[in-house]
A = this chain, B = another copy of it.
Amino acid sequence: METGATILDLNQLRRSCGLCALNELCLPAGIGRPDLERLDTIVHHKRTLDRGKALFRQGDTFHALFVVRSGSLKTFVENPAGDVQVLGFHLPGEIVGIDALANDHHLCDAEALERTSICELPYAQLQQVVREVPSLHGQLMRVVSREMVAEQRHLAMMGNQQAQERLAIFLQSLADRYGRLSRDPSTLNLPMSRYDIANYLGLVVETVSRLFSRMEAAGILAVNRKTVRILRPDLLTALCDSSGRSLRSREAG
């Protein structure tokens, strides 16, 4: 009995937000010690998803927000005609499920791209904690806002950039996020398929494939299936805003 309790406590401890390496990237960022412990009481750390498994589906009733703990997710919408749009790829520390707050139903699907573990924040309980810990409200709004900004960047890319710039921006952004996770930002492991990448960028898979080849030929990347090494970060950055292209209503007036 006693031993059992100890093990449980250890697990509890190891899995607490306070000890999580993602702490500063995640919802708890900037939350004080006692408040953190209160938040910890409601977080479920259990869920693990195999590659291809859904965390939730469009239409599911909303009951919790989720944070990626390890692994990665993609979120996407599918309209009645069957068109898919990948909305984003989610790395550790990033939150998903916010779109469901508006009407208590998820409006997109979330699927694991690899074996992925998830922290679950039951929303009813989260709201209760928000009442007790006011600073959590501000933090939650900040996290939501961060998601919106990411979507806006995605949108700006789709509206203005050529195919090659899109892929460059995508890789750059992934490298940045790798850096924040203290991974090597020059060696990217792409857990998603070429189809996913293409769809996310508003392109077809053949175009993405050709661009990888072209960038490899240019000495910018070393591409090996799902592993991409960035050999010339400077050239990659240059591609992100290479302005020798169309003006697609730059001056909206």
A121 within 8 A of partner (CB): no
User: Quick one: given A84-B250, A130-B137, A202-B159, are A152 and B77 in contact (CB under 8 Å)?
Assistant: yes
Q: Which residue of B has the minimal Cβ distance to A77?
A: B156
Q: Is the CB of A198 within 8 A of B148?
A: no
Alpha-carbon distance between A101 and B146 when the two chains are bound, in angstroms: 8
Alpha-carbon distance between A132 and B149 when the two chains are bound, in angstroms: 29
Contacts of A100 in B (CB 8 A): 145
Q: Is the CB of B131 within 8 A of A84?
A: no
Contacts of A74 in B (CB 8 A): 252
Partner of A151, one of B137, B151, B159: B151
Q: Is the CB of A249 within 8 A of B199?
A: yes
Contacts of A205 in B (CB 8 A): 249
| A122-153 interface code vs B (CB 8 A; 1 in, 0 out) | 00000100110010011011101111110110
Interface range on chain A: under 10, 10 to 19, 20 to 34, or 35 or more?
A: 35 or more
User: Quick one: given A79-B241, A83-B160, A145-B99, are A249 and B152 in contact (CB under 8 Å)?
Assistant: no
A182-233 interface with B by 8 A CB criterion: 193, 195-196, 198-200, 202-205
Partner of A81, one of B195, B200, B243: B243
Alpha-carbon distance between A183 and B204 when the two chains are bound, in angstroms: 40
A55 within 8 A of partner (CB): no
User: 26 interchain pairs (CB within 8 A)?
Assistant: A74-B252, A77-B152, A79-B160, A81-B241, A82-B250, A83-B250, A86-B159, A99-B152, A100-B145, A102-B145, A103-B142, A127-B134, A127-B137, A130-B134, A137-B137, A141-B144, A151-B151, A151-B152, A151-B155, A154-B155, A193-B253, A195-B253, A198-B249, A198-B252, A199-B249, A203-B249
For the complex with contacts A102-B145, A203-B249, 7 further pairs of A-B residues with Cβ separation under 8 Å are A84-B252, A85-B155, A98-B148, A101-B142, A101-B145, A107-B149, A140-B141
